[in-house]
């Protein structure tokens, strides 16, 4: 077959293709083209679609004034140039912000997700709003902290903080830039904030792995009174010697007890005080850092889901011997595990004669880091405690405390439900 007609057809297309390739090459040499390729170091400007707010908190630590004035950015497109760093768009920045106390502890604030114009002035931030605050034992390591999960924590004899109020107001990109440039140094570093990420992710971000990881996951238990109407069914499974704290021994018992409790339409809040709490109370753990802490008398959260008042649960903190902050230097070994005759407390709930109410503990569970070959084979050493009393029937597990002891009972009168939540935010950074 004569190929000349086909060549005559191909030549215009060939020329057009070469022209498109050439134009495409020139286009990719432009700033916008380089942006599409991810070569952000060539970019000089970009449109800013972020929003900004200013969080002011009046608080004292051991009587010493420690007020905060933090400018927070939401969905901030931050461009970095030829200094070796990358461009990124942060969802909430800074997600956590803190400073060193005179005794070496660290006081950290977790700003709420007030990214849709919520302010004190427009009423979408209530006057009684309280952001989540955490006191870390060591301002340098930030491996273990005590979170103030309700206003009751501030009223406790154990409290180190006195809360004086908080407000949120609108801010601008210029104010945010000035705060980033001239504001007090945040004690939470990027390395710490991203320390629970995998080695691969941390390296890809150009950061160094630090140990212990930042105490970003907070653990607590909520305590509820069991009404008399539900106690008869629960007593059927209470061990004959009536331990003070116990768990059902099999799935069937657990299911039956769970059904009896779930039928309680309105659950008494704690150990017999008269206030009754709606069944939908503060059930989403993520709301604690995102919306602020609820109050004992109800309210306090920014933009509640409904007009129904949200009441704070009776929170009690939980910590563990297998938390990463108790590890010596890395995930290769743990000081608590090096003593073969000592029991290992996988979960310790601290009532402290009810003075522990309102608190949580924040740390990284070693269940995420402890390699199987580093776990002692003798699981008989593992125990779960309430203060110094063991929880009968608790599983002997290396996983985080709330997973291993999700729910348990106190006699036939109260039940405890574990919660955990992270201080991080979607695409958050420091």
Q: Is residue 311 within 8 Å of residue 304, measured between CB atoms?
A: no
Helices 251-262 + 228-235 axis angle, to 10: 170
- Same domain assignment for residues 177 and 241: no
**What is the pLDDT, as a whole number, of residue 79?**
47
In a domain, 212, yes or no: no
What does the pLDDT read at residue 277?
44
In a domain, 196, yes or no: no
Q: What is the pLDDT of residue 335?
A: 56
Shared-domain flag, residues 128 and 235: no
Same domain membership, residue 255 and residue 150: no
| pLDDT for residue 258 | 80
| Residues lower than pLDDT 50 in the chain | 1-46, 79-84, 271-284
* 131 and 31 housed in the same domain: no
Q: Are 151 and 229 part of one and the same domain? A: no
Using one digit for the tens of pLDDT, what is the confidence trace for 134-156? 999 999 999 999 999 999 999 99
* In-domain check, residue 199: no
User: C-alpha angle with apex 333: 329 to 339, nearest 5 degrees?
Assistant: 115
Same domain as 144, residue 29: no
Q: Are 322 and 398 in contact (CB under 8 A)?
A: yes
The structural domain count of the chain equals 3
Q: What is the pLDDT of residue 340?
A: 61
131 assigned to some structural domain: yes
285/176 same-domain check: no
For the chain, give the number of residues: 430
The pLDDT value given to residue 154: 97
What is residue 339's predicted lDDT score, i.e. its pLDDT? 61
Quote the pLDDT of residue 276. 42
Residue 8 pLDDT: 38
| 144, part of any domain | yes
Q: Which of 148, 140, 146, 145 is nearest to 192 (CA)?
A: 140
Helix (H, G, I), strand (E, B) or coil at 271: coil
pLDDT for 400 equals 64
3-state helix, strand, coil in the chain (%, to 5): 25, 30, 50
247 and 390 inside one domain = yes
Residues 274 and 409 occupy one common structural domain: yes
Predicted pLDDT of residue 27: 39
Torsion angles phi and psi, residue 316, rounded to 5: -135, 135
Together in a domain, 13 and 154: no
Q: Which of 306, 345, 299, 303 is nearest to 322 (CA)?
A: 345
pTM (2 d.p.): 0.82
Residues 36 and 67 in one domain: no
430 domain-assigned = no
In this prediction, residue 209 carries a pLDDT of: 86
For residue 22, the model assigns a pLDDT of 47
pLDDT the model gives residue 288: 86
- Four-point Cα dihedral 275, 279, 283, 287, nearest 10: -60
| Residue 320 falls inside a structural domain | yes
Q: Which of 187, 204, 227 is the last residue of a domain?
A: 187
Question: What pLDDT, on the 0 to 100 scale, is given for residue 12?
Answer: 43
How many alpha carbons fall within 13 Å on the CB side of residue 145?
A: 33
Q: So what's the pLDDT on residue 42?
A: 35
Q: 374 with 230, same domain? A: yes
Which structural domain range is residue 16 located in?
4-40
Classify residue 176: in a domain, yes or no.
Answer: yes
Domain end point (choices 137, 172, 187) = 187
Instruction: Please tell me the distance from the alpha carbon of residue 179 to that of residue 369, in angstroms, as a whole number.
Output: 36
């Amino acid at each position: 077959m004569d190929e000349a007609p086909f060549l005559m057809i191909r030549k215009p297309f060939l020329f057009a293709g070469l022209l498109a390739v050439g134009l495409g090459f020139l286009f990719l040499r432009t700033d916008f083209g380089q942006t599409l390729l991810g070569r952000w170091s060539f970019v000089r400007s970009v449109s800013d679609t972020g929003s900004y707010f200013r969080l002011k908190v009046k608080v004292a630590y051991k009587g010493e004034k420690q007020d905060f004035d933090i400018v927070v950015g939401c969905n901030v497109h931050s461009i970095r140039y030829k200094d070796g760093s990358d461009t990124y768009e942060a969802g909430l920045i800074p997600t956590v912000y803190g400073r060193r106390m005179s005794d070496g502890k660290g006081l950290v604030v977790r700003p709420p997700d007030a990214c849709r114009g919520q302010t004190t002035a427009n009423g979408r931030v209530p006057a009684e709003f309280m952001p989540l605050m955490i006191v870390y034992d060591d301002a340098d390591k930030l491996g273990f902290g005590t979170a103030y999960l309700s206003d009751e924590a501030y009223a406790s004899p154990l409290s180190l903080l006195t809360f004086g109020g908080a407000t949120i107001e609108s801010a601008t990109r210029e104010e945010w830039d000035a705060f980033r440039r001239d504001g007090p140094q945040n004690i939470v570093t990027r390395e710490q904030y991203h320390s629970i990420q995998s080695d691969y992710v941390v390296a890809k971000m150009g950061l160094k792995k630090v140990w212990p990881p930042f105490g970003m996951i907070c653990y607590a238990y909520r305590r509820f009174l069991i009404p008399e109407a539900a106690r008869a069914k629960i007593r059927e499974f209470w061990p004959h010697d009536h331990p003070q704290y116990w768990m059902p021994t099999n799935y069937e018992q657990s299911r039956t007890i769970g059904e009896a409790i779930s039928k309680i339409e309105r659950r008494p809040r704690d150990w017999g005080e008269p206030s009754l709490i709606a069944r939908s109370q503060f059930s989403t753990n993520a709301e604690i850092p995102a919306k602020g802490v609820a109050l004992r008398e109800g309210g306090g959260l920014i933009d509640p889901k409904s007009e129904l008042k949200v009441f704070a649960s009776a929170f009690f903190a939980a910590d563990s011997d297998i938390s990463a902050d108790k590890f010596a230097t890395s995930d290769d070994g743990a000081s608590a595990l090096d003593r073969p005759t000592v029991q290992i407390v996988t979960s310790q709930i601290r009532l402290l004669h009810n003075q522990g109410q309102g608190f949580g503990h924040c740390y990284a569970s070693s269940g995420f880091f402890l390699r199987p070959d580093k776990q002692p084979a003798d699981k008989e050493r593992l125990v779960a405690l309430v203060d110094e009393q063991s929880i009968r029937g608790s599983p002997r597990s290396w996983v985080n405390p709330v997973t291993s002891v999700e729910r348990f009972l106190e006699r036939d009168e109260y039940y405890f439900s574990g919660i955990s939540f992270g201080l991080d935010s979607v695409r958050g950074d420091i």
